[in-house]
A = this chain, B = another copy of it.
Amino acid sequence: MILSPLMSTSTLLASTGGAEGEAAAKILAVAVTLATVAIFVSAQILGEIAVRIGLPAVLGELIAGFIIGVSGVHLVMLGNGGQVADWAVMVVQLISGGDSATIRDIFAGPVRILIDDYAQIGVGVLLFKIGLEADLKELIKVGPQAASVAVAGVVLPFVAGFWGLTLLFQLGTIPAIFGGAALTATSIGITSRIMQDMGVLNTKEGQIILGAAVLDDILGIAILAVAVGIAEYGTVEIANVLGIIVSATLFVLGAIALNQVFGPRYINFLDKLNNPYSILVGAIVFLFLMATVAQTIGLEAILGCFAAGIVLGDTKATHALEQACEPLVALFATIFFVSIGAKTDLSVLNLANPESRDGLVIALFLTVVAIAGKLAAGYFVFTRDRVDRLAIGTGMIPRGEVGLVFAGLGAATGALSGSVNVAIVLMVIATTFVAPPLLRWVFTNQHKQLEIAP
């Protein structure tokens, strides 16, 4: 979904088993191997460096993406019309033969689709695993608190962003709505990965952040529907927006209900089958179905994966499923985080370009609002208990890929000028990159009593 693929609709070149098809298949195999090896090796090296200088590994993986992606050596995640680096073409040619035009096409088409798909598998299984591990009782208990954080974390940045963009920067209503809307997102993938790496996902703060991020996704699609409706038709279909909110809420409540009535029975059924892997395969089938339902409603697919994990949590197979997910996460989620970096175009930082200069000023404003708004939201936690409000606000900071969807859709509707688009992208980059070290710092400083995993 979010990792939009380069899709092709042409006539099909290769014939099954024919010599031409064999040649193309060999090029594809070598090209995707080169891309995957580059992702793994760069992620290992940069992740290792990050950990050694005291930063979260995921930051190293994002930077690894800068190096091998569109901002670096042009090997993976090439954007629209992007060209793969000449050296990569030569390496593939050396091993598999083939003319360079075909190799370029294969990199821009099939390889991009495959790497995108691996990334989707990675973040899907990651969220499934987090759903499995989530303490549902605790999550329900912190529900009202998570809701208050989510609402505050959507309202505060949106209002501050909208007013600032219209008053300070004299933008029109529609671009200001998109700019404000992009500020409301929270990247559930990045936040939960960092918390998991630190072993704080199952703290009270961790569960509030997780719950708020899920609710944020629901509020986000509602805002997106409003923004696109205004930009394209000048009006808002209240019924439509309400429909989205109701169906999304039903989806989340449905997952909670299914955990009781369906999860254990489904596992028992799978357990009776003779295939030793029935439970894993059956769980993945269920994950696919939930992801499809989520997408049909308009939610992110990964929210469906998380819900599938919630449903199958707390059964006799939960632990085995968690362990089975680990190798999948280790391989495929790494591809997801590297690909976020790889897709980020740092050329928007080019100060020789007037749009970039204008964008930079707006970006500075958006970033301040983005960080301050979510930090402030942390103090809206509706509880008398002692919780770390600063940690909760910090956990909501990274916009990640969700913010980029807002920018992308805004640009697609024609509502955003070049400089506003640049500003949103820069804000997303800044919040995504500032959050991991900040979150780590907050959790280690405020929770000295916690055993922090290295």
Residues of A within 8 A of B (CB): 1-22, 24-26, 28-30, 32-33, 36-37, 40-41, 43-44, 47-48, 51-52, 57, 79-81, 95-96, 101-102, 105-106, 108-110, 113-114, 117, 120, 273-278, 280-282, 284-285, 288-289, 291-292, 295-296, 301, 324-328, 330-331, 334, 343, 404-405, 407-409, 411-413, 454
Contact = CB atoms under 8 A, between A and B. Distances in A.
Closest 10 CB pairs of A and B: A17-B408, A10-B10, A277-B330, A4-B21, A8-B8, A324-B327, A9-B105, A7-B24, A51-B274, A15-B80
Contact of A18 (B110, B295, B412): B412
30 contacts: A4-B21, A7-B14, A7-B21, A7-B110, A8-B9, A8-B12, A8-B13, A8-B105, A17-B412, A19-B409, A20-B412, A29-B295, A30-B295, A32-B117, A33-B292, A37-B285, A37-B288, A40-B281, A40-B285, A44-B273, A51-B275, A95-B296, A96-B295, A113-B114, A274-B454, A277-B326, A277-B327, A280-B330, A328-B328, A328-B331
Name which of A4, A29, A40 has the most chain B CB atoms within 10 A of its CB: A4
B26 A295 contact: yes
A133 to B, nearest CB: 16
Nearest to A81: B12
A28 B13 contact: no
Nearest to A325: B327
This protein's copies in its complex = 2
A7 B17 contact: no
Given A12-B109, A18-B412, A285 B57 contact: no
Contacts of A57: 274-275
Contacts of A331: 277, 280-281, 284, 328
A17 B52 contact: no
Given A37-B288, A117-B32, A404-B17, A44 B281 contact: yes
Name which of A108, A276, A325 has the most chain B CB atoms within 10 A of its CB: A276
